Structure 1
Amino acid sequence: MPSTASWSGTPSIKGSSESMRMALLTFSLVGIQFTWGIEMTYCTPYLLQLGLTKSRTSLVWVAGPLSGLIMQPVVGVLADNSKSRWGRRRPYMVVGALIVAVTLLVLGWTSEVVGLFISDPELRRPMTIALAVLSIYVVDFAINAVQASCRSLIVDTLPISKQQMGSAWASRMIGIGHLLGYVAGTIDLMGIFGTSLGDNQFKQLTVISSLGLLIAVGITCYSVQERVLISGRDTEDRASAVKLFSQILRATLHLPARIQAICWIQFWSWIGWFPFLFYSTTWVGEIYFRYNMPEGVKGSSDVLGDVGRIGSLSLVVFSVISLASSIVLPWIVKSPDNERPSFTPRPPASIAPIVTTASRFKPDLLDTWTFSHLLFAGSMILAPFVTSLGFATVLVSICGIPWALSCWAPFTFMGIEINRLSVPASSSNGNVSYNRLSTESSVEMSEDPATTLRLNHHPDDEKDEGPASSSTGELAGVYLGILNLFTTLPQFIGTFISTVAFALLEPGKSPELAHEAHPDEHHSTDGPNAIGVCLFIGAVSAVGAAYATKRLGHIQ
């Protein structure tokens, strides 16, 4: 049997209270999500303004799923085996954040950077587009490395009994970062800072985003003390990556029926969510420019800033509704876990009948999830027919409710199924009861300064018989990794759909955003908006997700 890994030091977090420690541990996610929000809000209209066609712009967004597929496992394996005296995760967080910050500034000043080396105007424009696309790829790859390290830092630092709380705080920080990013996009920064941070809205947002990411990552890195890896398991370190990918492949090909159904629900729903997340801001802005913009505003010197602010306002409402839904819905939706609690608080006699009646009529999570797909589909199926900014904003805002369910429901059902596979137990009435993963920390530390970390596993777990016989932690990692795969692959399909739709409906440069267009190109605002058509196709896919979700209730 290979030797176990040995460590030096003890993980710790600064802070006078548990809430403060959790906030400091997860604070880096605020900066990450803020940066994602700025990229999703402004980069599509920015590329269109530079003169890239919509069909080619859609290909740029392959960077997101591609970087997620490559960087997260690669950085995970490299960091797992790192013996840096600063810890395994924080060096990757700091270096990745610095790369993101510098590249964001290059993205904001692409024209100026290219102008330093190229004076020919005909050559400068394509080179500016090329540098902008390259910068977006670098940002996506680097920020995925930072994100993977931040998530792993939470797992590394907290005992098992605190993992659920750490995940909850991470979700809150992501929500805060998302909301701050969209709010920042609605503010007229030129009116506040003048030209001190740049001569347009996008440049100023890249400066703020760069500083925000560095500050957020710096706060977490300063507040957290990691263990230092002294030596890894000698025979498994070299094969860990190959073993991980082969295990995921075997598990993907032999998924249990209910887990397979959950993954397919995720697959169909994310074909719809991909165009919404990347193009909804641009779509709202284009609706404004097509139908609602006053004649006197058509000569605006910062069209990109106008589109970003208008689109961000709708996403601010979307984020507020999503955040509120994620807080309220768990209270009014019945849990799918049929394990009875050991103690049920009795409500006061004066309101007991009301509470009892309300509990009887609570919808279950499966029906609520099904309805959320239909709500998203019903909203986005109207996208090609929208002719007013107000209606576009209402449709985008409504999607905050299904987005809250999409961030919650699949992981809840996966958790139940993973627990069911990990520790199956039959109740007296023949039904399977769902057992929680261990809520107690099973980490044992020796008194030697070079401590050894041991996880208490069942002896049978030592057998290498694939995912089904793995320990609970390995089982959860494999199946959640597969769920992430079914989330990422639809983004490639969404990119293909968007590319085809843009090439057929708007083959030229954006009529709303491009500085200039060739006379032979299609650049009329007549006809359907191509992004609206992509949202419509995503709505059809969401109907498929609703059907798959309904079927989940009939799978044993």
Structure 2
Amino acid sequence: MHGVVQWAGTPKIKGSSEAMRMALLTASLIGLQFTWNVEMTYCTPYLLELGLTKSKISLVWIAGPLSGLIMQPIVGVVADKSKNKWGRRRPFMAGGTVLVAMFLILLGWTKEVVKMFVTEKEAVRQATIFLAVFSIYGIDFAINAVQGSCRGLIVDTLPIAKQQMGSSWASRMVAVGSLVGYGAGAIDLKSVFGPMLGDSQFKQLTAVAAMTLCFTVGITSWAVTERVLISDGKEDEEEQGPMQVLSTIAKTATNLPKGIAAICFVQFWAWIGWFPFLFYSTTWVGEIYLRFEAPAEAKNAGDLTGQVGRIGSMALIAFSIITFVMSVLLPFVVKSPEDEGPQFTPRPPQSIASFVIEIEKYKPSLLSMWTVSHCIFAGSMIMAPFVQSLRSATMIVAVCGISWAISCWAPFTFLGVEINKLNQPNHHHSYGRLSRSSIELESPMALHLNHNMEDQSHSSTGASSGQYLGIMNLYTTLPQFVGTAISWVVFSILEPGKSPELAKETHPDEQSSTDGPNAIAVCLFIGALSAGMAALATRRLQRIQNY
């Protein structure tokens, strides 16, 4: 028999203003995104330079969805029940960060580590590939534990009325992390740091990423005070083992509330499209440059990984700038889910009341913008197979920044609202039907962040936030298996040998023709079709909302 969930303390965030508190709460996502960017920008060309084929690399990237499939739901369920005196999320954030930093350093120095034990040339190459792949798997498993905990911390800390603001700030921090990461990748770090952090661009980036992640997660962990779980209301139940945890996840995933299930369905289709973009777009831009525009001396120069990484990073800097700008501007011109039903709305000054009311009429809903974002992404990626210039490749990658800003914001906003409504007495499942009293009671509270326990019925409880975030992550990772399968088939058919652009340096006798279609571009095209399905699924979510 279930009892009442009991907590000790109140969630608090350091800082003298709301903006500062939101920034501190979401700062960890800067380091997370920086680390993802290093992996997605440089690991594909690095493995290609080592001699791995694209079809085999597509199988390496199973690491991402596999780790997300396993780690985030399990860590979410375990953290939900954690009674650690430091809180439910921060211990996992800290432990995972240490592991990520260790694997990043190992990834950067794989050749040096291998040469300590192996001397024969071909054996060194094979062992280097193995250790690099092992490090990528280690990074992905550890960082998924960190990422799930960081997102769960936002949901746990903020009341319903601030879920959209928290998600929009998270989107901004992801954009900042991307901007810093791609900016670091676009410059020659060896000229900045010298040999201090390594003798190659890749080594220096892995070192900087490790330090950045530790610093930003440390800031959030220092700034946020979590509530401590005293009792989850199930004290009479036995402690759950691994199989029970998996059973809990499976049972919850197959009995999701309609609103959460619809959000997950949108994520499924959207991420079939995002997977090839996030993992291969940098390499694609670099290959476009090498195939159509690079002078002969550039093609024959050393450190092709660094060249492709820098060229691709320039395109993704533009992508990140647009993402950041959109994540700052859009929350001011888009209705939040709470604004779409009857509620308390502060009366504007009489002099501008008519203007404000008129503007409010034309604000698009967040759900509509999410639909538009899928269409923008699909329209951009469908052009990929026809691109033959660096400028065109950069333009269509940059435009996708609009879609990415909304994709990092909308699903977590809707999910955060749904999770917290499930913990409210007499909750409703439609997004626009929060009670007037709920909004009014939130309004007078200072900054809405340090809400008191006596107002708990109107604030974020998030008792199962880790579990639901983990389940939504299943619908983010499962389509990546689909994307991996699609990539493997396309690469096996179109580019079965070594990469024609990137393997020339180490395999000059196995050069492939660059006259055929670019395999990555074909994968991006297929992703565009999936984004179209995501747009249709978002309209279905709107019908459920209006039900």
Say yes or no: TM over 0.5.
yes
Partner of 1:541: 530
Partner of 1:328: 329
Partner of 1:239: 240
1:299 is aligned to 2:300:
yes
d(CA) in 1 for partners of 2:336, 2:18: 27
Q: 1:543 to 1:436 in 2, by over 3 A?
A: farther
Per the normalisation by structure 1, the TM-score is 0.82
Question: C-alpha displacement at 1:319, in angstroms?
Answer: 1.3
8 Å CA contact 2:155–2:163 kept in 1: the answer is yes
More displaced, 359-368 or 117-126?
Answer: 359-368
Secondary structure, aligned partner of 1:149: helix
Partner of 2:502: 513
Partner of 1:338: 340
Q: 1:236 to 1:168 in 2, by over 3 A?
A: farther
Question: C-alpha displacement at 1:356, in angstroms?
Answer: 5.8
Partner of 1:148: 148
- What are the within-5 Å matches in structure 2 for residues 206-245 of structure 1? 206-224=206-224, 234-236=235-237, 238-239=239-240, 245=246
For 2:389, give the aligned amino acid: S
Partner of 2:477: 488
Question: C-alpha displacement at 1:170, in angstroms?
Answer: 3.6
Question: C-alpha displacement at 1:283, in angstroms?
Answer: 0.5
Question: C-alpha displacement at 1:120, in angstroms?
Answer: 0.6
d(CA) in 2 for partners of 1:376, 1:81: 39
Partner of 1:390: 391
8 Å CA contact 1:261–1:552 kept in 2: the answer is yes
More displaced, 145-154 or 534-543?
Answer: 145-154
d(CA) in 2 for partners of 1:357, 1:548: 30
8 Å CA contact 1:190–1:201 kept in 2: the answer is yes
Per the normalisation by structure 2, the TM-score is 0.84
Higher helix share: 2
d(CA) in 1 for partners of 2:10, 2:536: 49
Larger radius of gyration: 1
Partner of 1:131: 131
8 Å CA contact 1:508–1:517 kept in 2: the answer is no
More displaced, 257-266 or 293-302?
Answer: 257-266
1:265 is aligned to 2:299:
no
Partner of 1:316: 317
Structure 1: where are the runs of 5+ without partners? Answer: 442-452, 459-470
8 Å CA contact 1:437–1:472 kept in 2: the answer is no
Identity %: 59
Secondary structure, aligned partner of 1:503: helix
d(CA) in 2 for partners of 1:97, 1:324: 28
Q: 1:454 to 1:135 in 2, by over 3 A?
A: farther
Question: C-alpha displacement at 1:258, in angstroms?
Answer: 5.5
d(CA) in 2 for partners of 1:554, 1:86: 41
d(CA) in 2 for partners of 1:488, 1:379: 23
Question: C-alpha displacement at 1:543, in angstroms?
Answer: 1.7
For 1:297, give the aligned amino acid: A
d(CA) in 2 for partners of 1:553, 1:225: 36
Cα RMSD, aligned residues only: 3.8
8 Å CA contact 2:340–2:432 kept in 1: the answer is no
1:324-377 deviations in Å (ceiling 9; x for gaps): 222323333455653134335457658946x56655444444443333222211
1:66-98 deviations in Å (ceiling 9; x for gaps): 111212233344445556665554443333222
d(CA) in 2 for partners of 1:426, 1:30: 33
For 2:199, give the aligned amino acid: D
Partner of 1:200: 200
Structure 2: where are the runs of 5+ without partners? Answer: 443-452
8 Å CA contact 1:424–1:433 kept in 2: the answer is no
d(CA) in 2 for partners of 1:117, 1:171: 44
More displaced, 539-548 or 167-176?
Answer: 167-176
Equivalent residues, number: 528
Partner of 2:380: 379
8 Å CA contact 2:72–2:473 kept in 1: the answer is no
- What are the within-5 Å matches in structure 2 for residues 101-120 of structure 1? 101-120=101-120
Question: C-alpha displacement at 1:162, in angstroms?
Answer: 6.5
For 2:278, give the aligned amino acid: L
Higher relative contact order (CA 8 A, sep 6+): 2
8 Å CA contact 1:338–1:434 kept in 2: the answer is no
Question: C-alpha displacement at 1:512, in angstroms?
Answer: 1.6
